[in-house]
Amino acid sequence: MPPLKALIVGGGIAGPALAHWLSRIGAHVTLIERSPQMRASGQQLDLRSQGVPMMKKMGIENAVRAARVKEPGMQLIDLHGRTKAYFPAAEGGAARQSITSDYEIMRADLVRILYALTENHTNVQHVYDTTVKSFTQDDENDPDGKVHVCFHNGQEEDYDLVVGADGTGSKTRRIMLGPDAPDPRQRRGGYIGYFSMLSQPQDSYRGTMCQLPGPRMGRAIMTRKDCAELTRIYMMTNGDDECVDEALKSGDLSQLKKALADLFEDGVWECRRFMEALRHAPEADDLYCTPFEEVRLPEGSWSKGRVVLIGDAAHSATANGFGTTYGLVGAYVLAGEIATLYEKDRSSPTAAILQGAKNYENIWRPIATAGHGGSQLFDSLASPRSQIGIRVLHTLAALAAYFRLDQKIDFEGASAKWQLPDYPALEKGNDVQVR
Ligand SMILES: Cc1cc2nc3c(=O)[nH]c(=O)nc-3n(C[C@H](O)[C@H](O)[C@H](O)COP(=O)(O)OP(=O)(O)OC[C@H]3O[C@@H](n4cnc5c(N)ncnc54)[C@H](O)[C@@H]3O)c2cc1C
């Protein structure tokens, strides 16, 4: 029998991870990315909970350790820059983490590490500047059935399996669900935006969060530093803004910079300096901004026949701290379920793909979506609009820091109690050396 032939749409975190696992069962994999080159951008990500053993299983622990950002901890400051609470980072490689994980890494570095897993693999092709225009698939009862894919450049190709790893706005999901299906993205209110700027000596290596009062919405600005030259600025709101929405819709970078700078140009702390950089400095061209939203698909709809969704495309919950971990683990569970079934019966990949995709959703969905909906109490405490609300937050945070609650409470959420499954069928491939 010819090997399983798979198309993965999206070269972010989940896509290259899946390419790695499928390559270990001898599948022929094409990984397409719509950007003209590897999209190695974004700010700090962290691996938490099962993301730690997952990374070890993938054989990338040393590469991640070598690239990790050594943030000493996270502090809350007041409008004058005075520290109100400080949470040191967790250390020692434990799965349980503080606010700063032991495995903080720049997104670009993690994307490069994941791509390197399959870079020289003869069965895996990385293709850039490519997207899928449409696809159809044969009847599920046809054991030799395929997905017939038409790419934007007019090329056509058949695959046993197509996986949408194309993020929260997934087009694969849109085509798979069909034109009449409702958009499963639900706005939670507000945005998170990130950009880089040149550092000043006063910029701390501690993650530094400042809550800003304002009548319309809760806002916070945070700085992080992973290198001497640059400071990374994070902007968060818990309310929507028409100008930001319009700018996001238009895709115009300078319009988006202006809309966000208008929203955060307070005269407090260092906001003026940060917003001046956002408006004018070339380093800020890496601005990435997204609304807080969740992908909430009805049960049983993470796959349709031979087309399956993973990562944010299946279950995004923007910036909840688990997106990277869940992207990696979901890819592993999907590959493991298919590989286990395919190993038992190699007469046709169809049955293994159809059942494997269902098993993957049954196993992984309860964990990946456990945090959906968030906590309203937590949200309102963490995003105060008034000076009094900010003082309450600082007092509670100072108490939590004093009693080290960040390491005692179940910060890791539902997935902490869940064990990564073992898939002997995935263990057989050759270990790939990561540079
Ligand atoms: C540029 C960028 C920067 C980010 N920065 C941060 C950050 O600083 N902090 C943070 O916590 N999270 C960030 N994220 C989100 C984070 O990476 C994900 O939430 C998480 O890691 C899950 O990964 P994913 O692979 O499912 O999705 P993503 O990481 O979003 O990857 C999806 C990939 O699919 C590609 N793609 C989209 N549509 C198509 C298409 N039609 N055809 C082909 N390819 C397509 C995208 O270009 C992207 O490379 C960022 C995402 C991106 C894309």
Query: In this structure, which amino acid lies at residue 108?
Result: A
Pairing of strands 303-304, 288-295: unpaired
Contacting residues for 214 by C-beta, under 8 A, at least 6 apart: 266, 385
Pairing of strands 185-198, 161-164: unpaired
Q: How far is the CA of 5 from the centre of ligand 1 (A)?
A: 24
Token pair, residue 216, equals: 């319309």
Report the pLDDT value the prediction gives residue 95, as an integer from 0 to 100: 45
For residue 407, the surrounding DSSP H or E stretch is: helix 405-408
Give pLDDT tens digits for 270-292: 999 999 999 999 999 999 999 99
Report the pLDDT value the prediction gives residue 12, as an integer from 0 to 100: 97
Q: How far apart are CA 259 and CA 191, in angstroms?
A: 12
Phi-psi region of 324 (alpha: psi -120 to 50; beta: other; left: phi over 0): alpha
- HEC string of 291-360 equals EEEEECCCCCCCEECCEEECCHHHHCECCCCCHHHHHHHHHHHHHHHHHHHHHHCCCCHHHHHHHHHHHH
Q: How far apart are CA 225 and CA 338, in angstroms?
A: 41
CA–CA distance from 314 to each of 22, 33, 132, 326 (Å)?
A: 19, 18, 18, 10
Length of the chain: 435
Give pLDDT tens digits for 382-402: 678 888 989 999 999 999 998
Determine if ligand 1 sits within 6 Å of the CB of residue 323: yes
Instruction: Classify burial at 128, counting beta carbons within 10 Å of its beta carbon; exposed 0-12, middle 13-18, buried 19 or more.
Output: middle
Report the pLDDT value the prediction gives residue 413, as an integer from 0 to 100: 59
Q: How far is the CA of 108 from the centre of ligand 1 (A)?
A: 11
Report the pLDDT value the prediction gives residue 405, as an integer from 0 to 100: 80
Determine if ligand 1 sits within 6 Å of the CB of residue 287: no
Helix, coil or strand: residue 338: helix
Do 264 and 190 meet the contact criterion of CB atoms below 8 Å apart? no
Report the pLDDT value the prediction gives residue 46, as an integer from 0 to 100: 86
Q: How far apart are CA 226 and CA 70, in angstroms?
A: 7
Pairing of strands 28-32, 5-9: parallel
Q: How far is the CA of 13 from the centre of ligand 1 (A)?
A: 7
For residue 245, the surrounding DSSP H or E stretch is: helix 242-250
Q: How far is the CA of 292 from the centre of ligand 1 (A)?
A: 14
The pTM of the whole model exceeds 0.85:
yes
Determine if ligand 1 sits within 6 Å of the CB of residue 110: no
Q: How far apart are CA 189 and CA 50, in angstroms?
A: 28
Q: How far apart are CA 249 and CA 244, in angstroms?
A: 9
Pairing of strands 185-198, 44-46: unpaired
Query: In this structure, which amino acid lies at residue 138?
Result: D
List the one residue out of 58, 83, 86 whose CA is nearest residue 72.
86
Do 336 and 21 meet the contact criterion of CB atoms below 8 Å apart? yes
Measured in degrees and rounded to the nearest 5, phi and psi for residue 99 equal: -65, -45
Q: How far apart are CA 260 and CA 241, in angstroms?
A: 9
Q: Which of 30, 35, 39 has the most ligand 1 atoms within 8 A of CB, as the residue to mutate?
A: 39
Do 369 and 198 meet the contact criterion of CB atoms below 8 Å apart? no
Do 313 and 165 meet the contact criterion of CB atoms below 8 Å apart? yes
Instruction: Tell me which residues of the chain have a pLDDT lower than 50.
Output: 95, 377, 430-435
Phi-psi region of 116 (alpha: psi -120 to 50; beta: other; left: phi over 0): alpha
For residue 197, what are the β-bridge partners?
A: 231
Do 68 and 103 meet the contact criterion of CB atoms below 8 Å apart? yes
Q: How many CB atoms lie within 10 A of CB 399?
A: 11
Q: How far apart are CA 420 and CA 171, in angstroms?
A: 29
Do 28 and 158 meet the contact criterion of CB atoms below 8 Å apart? no
Do 163 and 310 meet the contact criterion of CB atoms below 8 Å apart? yes
Measured in degrees and rounded to the nearest 5, phi and psi for residue 198 equal: -70, 140
Q: If you take atom 50 of ligand 1, which residue's CA is the nearest one?
A: 42
Determine if ligand 1 sits within 6 Å of the CB of residue 412: no
Helix, coil or strand: residue 388: helix
Structure letter (DSSP) for residue 32: E
Determine if ligand 1 sits within 6 Å of the CB of residue 33: yes
Q: How far apart are CA 197 and CA 2, in angstroms?
A: 51
